[in-house]
Structure 1
């Protein structure tokens, strides 16, 4: 369905549609099994999916994730059905987002309102999606969904109600524990941040900036790291230990080693988020060079 290796990116948000189409088509030709994209205040997840599915023929296009704070379950269910009907077997809906927290979370200076406990909120959202009486043409196959899951309760919900989980910003140890929590056969599709740069000091600076951003902006991910044994000194630094656990950096060999560690720990699929000094520009050179991993 997804293959072993995919690409995860936010870089399409500030690119014109023509550039997004060209990049998606090239990723397919390079042999990646899936293209994942996030959702913030750029192009909305449904539009991005239509754009990239229309530019490709075989590759899975995955929302990683569609933010449940941004649309009603009725709208999400209708869009999911339409995408699956138009592009059979190629759309994977990942659900998650900043609404699943106990307190409001600022995102790019905009405060996303809270809707309560994460698992309860997501369960209610899934229930509402499943209850929508849709009258549009039905796809040949049932919808394919995953959840952005970190803690054991959300991982269990992902395994029970969807194909599986899409953990983001996690070390290999999380992959190992997630596989233990989830039922046999549940999909575990892990995001892995990477910096492809032979100048290790420069690569580490890019990696540290990435981890530092999430340390300031993502309390749910920091809570997950605490569960895994990282302390306040690791999070506030961020420490070298934390940076090295979250980001694989250096040459292609170092990145391939990390991918294999996730697979050995129980991941079914690893999607690479390539970090560069210019996050708004698709890292085409790096995507091309990394396409040969595991091959």
Structure 2
């Protein structure tokens, strides 16, 4: 699948912060993100807004800003319904929607109340079969002039290879620069690679508090088997996963001032990323981090 790899620019935003906020505030924030000049806006999906209707809310509030799901949970939808949502948004907003797919719930993952139970299919085979069913879905209406952009949430080599073969590329989350280099090597030069980089803007004097925020965030992923397995593949010990030392959080996050964050963005791009989307982490995750997004917008010209 070929597309313009510059379509989302080199620097974007990734956020869960819109969940739980009023729709009007979300629309206003999306319009400001577009005005600030970010190349794309990625939204997560968990126990808040449904991903594709959330994407429509954001697309309707903006004029040119690309919006991507990072990710839409496959186990929440049949392949036909996912394909229908993708087709609807691609028709309504040509060239502006990216469907990020993920959340295959393999055996061994923790159950989440209200979500489908894990299945026993191997992840790569299960996702491949899901893509097959999406491609085979019979939908009323003319096909789009060009296929929509799809990416897969991918961490391990098998899923990265599948992403490179079957979709536009991969979207990675909670990863190191070394992982970005491995992802590029695995997929080859052509597939798209979007990296979500979690940042904790902080002056040097506040580093202890910033480290505490970062450690708390990592702890929330201890039940995510795929994330833990990936961090172990990258050489982190269980003690580090449990919070020992700072090597883990310093490798996963950009903690510090704007130049520190810019340096980490450059490292991911140099390692093979086509696009880096910044997830701003603050002690108060209940607010939309507009002030931080405005400050980080100063980096946009550097990566244009």
> TM-score normalised to the size of structure 2?
0.93
Structure 2 residue 290 is the aligned partner of structure 1 residue 263: no
Which of 134-143 and 191-200 deviates more? 134-143
Which of 152-161 and 183-192 deviates more? 183-192
Unaligned runs of 5+ in 1: none
Aligned residue in 1 for 2:199: 194
Structure 2 residue 148 is the aligned partner of structure 1 residue 143: yes
Aligned residues between the structures: 292
**2-structure distance, mates of 1:30, 1:141:** 29
Report if aligned partners of 2:31, 2:62 keep a CA contact under 8 Å in 1.
Answer: yes
Report if aligned partners of 2:195, 2:275 keep a CA contact under 8 Å in 1.
Answer: yes
Paired residue secondary structure (1:190): strand
Unaligned runs of 5+ in 2: 1-6
**2-structure distance, mates of 1:106, 1:274:** 27
Structure 2 residue 28 is the aligned partner of structure 1 residue 16: no
**1-structure distance, mates of 2:207, 2:272:** 28
Given the superposition, is the C-alpha separation of residues 208 and 43 from structure 1 closer, same or farther in structure 2, using an over 3 Å criterion? same
Task: Kindly state the Cα deviation for residue 211 of structure 1 after the two structures are TM-superposed.
Answer: 1.3
Aligned residue in 2 for 1:113: 117
Runs of 4+ in 1 over 4 A off after TM superposition: 109-112
**1-structure distance, mates of 2:234, 2:276:** 20
Paired residue secondary structure (1:292): helix
Given the superposition, is the C-alpha separation of residues 250 and 87 from structure 1 closer, same or farther in structure 2, using an over 3 Å criterion? same
> TM-score normalised to the size of structure 1?
0.96
Q: CA RMSD in A?
A: 1.3
Aligned residue in 1 for 2:214: 207
Task: Kindly state the Cα deviation for residue 138 of structure 1 after the two structures are TM-superposed.
Answer: 3.0
Residues 116-155 of structure 1 deviation map (CA, whole Å, 9 limit, x = unaligned) = 2110110011000000011134332211100000000100
Paired residue secondary structure (2:299): coil
